[in-house]
């Protein structure tokens, strides 16, 4: 996603990641990977649960988020989602950009 961030921005898209990890861990990851988007911390799984993405006992320390990609419209409605059991299998940026381009 980072490599195509300018393409997302041209379509008024914003990339956000949400993790159960704490703020300090996420800040370190953003710095280490030189990400130009925010990684939000949700250790209580509040937002993760609201999207139905809780993976109970999915991590070594307990519940985590399922690997997912969501596209929301300007009103905050989910207009497209991809949820997988394998964190290595993700939609390609072109697929997400096509969805984003189709939003009126």
Which residue has better confidence, 61 or 103? 103
CA distance 74 to 35: 23
pLDDT the model gives residue 59: 85
Taking 90 as the threshold, does the pLDDT of residue 86 lie above it? no
* Arithmetic mean of pLDDT over the chain: 94
Taking 90 as the threshold, does the pLDDT of residue 79 lie above it? yes
CA distance 61 to 88: 20
Q: Which structural domains are found in the chain, ordered by start?
A: 2-102 (3.40.30.10)
Q: How confident is the model at residue 88 (pLDDT cuts 50, 70, 90)?
A: confident
Which ranges of 4-71 would DSSP assign to H, the alpha helix?
A: 5-10, 23-33, 46-50
pLDDT the model gives residue 33: 96
pLDDT tens digits along 22-51: 999 999 999 999 999 999 999 999 999 999
Q: Mean pLDDT, to the nearest integer, of 16-26?
A: 95
């Amino acid at each position: 996603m980072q490599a195509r961030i300018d393409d997302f921005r041209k379509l008024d898209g914003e990339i956000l990641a949400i993790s159960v990890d704490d703020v300090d861990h996420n800040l370190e990851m953003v710095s280490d990977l030189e990400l130009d988007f925010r990684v939000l911390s949700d250790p209580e799984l509040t937002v993760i649960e609201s999207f139905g993405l809780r993976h109970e006992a999915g991590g070594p320390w307990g519940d985590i988020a399922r690997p997912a990609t969501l596209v929301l419209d300007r009103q905050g409605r989910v207009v497209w989602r991809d949820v997988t059991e394998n964190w290595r299998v993700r939609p390609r940026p072109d697929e997400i950009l096509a969805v984003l381009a189709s939003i009126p």
